[in-house]
């Protein structure tokens, strides 16, 4: 989902930057407030960011014969809500843009939008929606993480198709081509992300349920 440095036309790069800024600014405010209100949540915030770091470093092979990586946004979103994770996602993307030449500064706005904003709001929407339907907690976590992962890559495909419409078939034609690269490859990886998110959530609930209750990170009924 990393759009490479310089690979978005100037106007598009600026527009995505403008679109992402308010989310990150409000996210930073929410993050600061959460840390003041519930300072004991710091370790769990670190673990949520850590999960993003690990998962976005794992280039996994896919059935399409290419490699891509999960995002890890789902776990933190379920614990901290979507706003705070926009900031954590941006930190991961900055690390990769500056040290790994993956993604870039000019494309940071677009990449933050797909991974940190769309990714976390989809995870949050799925989580809240399915919790309301009273589905088993692990099923909810799995779907929230996997669909968030898919949504990020579909967003990237749309961003690229908007910037580079096919000369013959236009936006739709280009979208189909970018989706073939990103979205299809991502399906098994999104499933893997779902399983890994359930795994880490199991470990957190087994060991840190008291801390999560004190810091008001999960609904009481799903904590032991």
Site residues for another protein, window 11-50 (CB under 8 A)?
43-44, 46-47, 49-50
User: Which residues have C-beta within 8 Å of that of residue 128, sequence separation ≥ 6?
Assistant: none
Q: In angstroms, what CA-CA distances link 36 with 31, 86, 114?
A: 9, 19, 29
Least distance (Å) between residue 48 CB and another protein: 9
Least distance (Å) between residue 2 CB and another protein: 5
Residue 113, interface with another protein (CB under 8 A)? no
Cα angle 131-84-23, degrees, rounded to a multiple of 5? 105
* Residue from the set 2, 12, 30, 34 that interacts with another protein by CB under 8 A: 2
Query: Within positions 63 to 82, which residues make up the interface with another protein, using CB under 8 A?
Result: 63-68
Question: How far is the C-alpha of 45 from the C-alpha of 48, rounded, in Å?
Answer: 5
Query: Within positions 171 to 200, which residues make up the interface with another protein, using CB under 8 A?
Result: 174, 177-178, 181-182, 185-186, 188-189, 191-192, 195-196, 198-200
- Quick one: which of 154, 116, 98 has its CA closest to 16? 116
Query: What sign results for the dihedral spanned by CA atoms 196, 61, 54, 32?
Result: negative
Residue 110, interface with another protein (CB under 8 A)? no
Q: Which two tokens stand for residue 21?
A: 């800024």
Segment near another protein (CB under 8 A); pick from 17-25, 31-39, 119-127, 156-164: 156-164
- Quick one: which of 221, 139, 154 has its CA closest to 186? 154
Q: What is the total count of residues that contact another protein (CB under 8 A)?
A: 73
Residue 102, interface with another protein (CB under 8 A)? yes
* Residue from the set 211, 218, 222, 223 that interacts with another protein by CB under 8 A: 211
């Amino acid at each position: 989902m990393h759009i490479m440095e310089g690979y978005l036309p100037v106007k598009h790069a600026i527009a995505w930057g403008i679109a992402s800024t308010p989310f990150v600014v409000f996210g930073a405010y929410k993050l600061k407030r959460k840390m003041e209100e519930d300072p004991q949540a710091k370790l769990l915030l670190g673990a949520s960011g850590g999960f993003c770091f690990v998962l976005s470093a794992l280039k996994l092979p896919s059935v399409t014969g290419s490699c891509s990586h999960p995002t890890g946004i789902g776990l933190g979103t379920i614990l901290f809500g979507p706003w705070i994770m926009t900031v954590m996602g941006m930190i991961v993307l900055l690390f990769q843009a500056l040290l790994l030449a993956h993604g870039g500064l000019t494309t940071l706005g677009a990449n933050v939008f797909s991974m940190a904003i769309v990714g976390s709001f989809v995870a949050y929407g799925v989580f809240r929606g399915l919790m309301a339907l009273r589905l088993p907690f692990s099923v909810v976590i799995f779907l929230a993480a996997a669909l968030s992962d898919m949504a990020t890559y579909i967003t990237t495909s749309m961003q690229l198709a908007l910037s580079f419409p096919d000369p013959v078939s236009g936006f739709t034609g280009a979208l189909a081509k970018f989706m073939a690269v990103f979205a299809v490859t991502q399906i098994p990886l999104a499933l893997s992300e779902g399983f890994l998110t359930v795994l880490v959530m199991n470990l957190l609930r087994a060991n840190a349920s008291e801390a999560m209750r004190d810091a008001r990170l999960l609904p009481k009924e799903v904590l032991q």
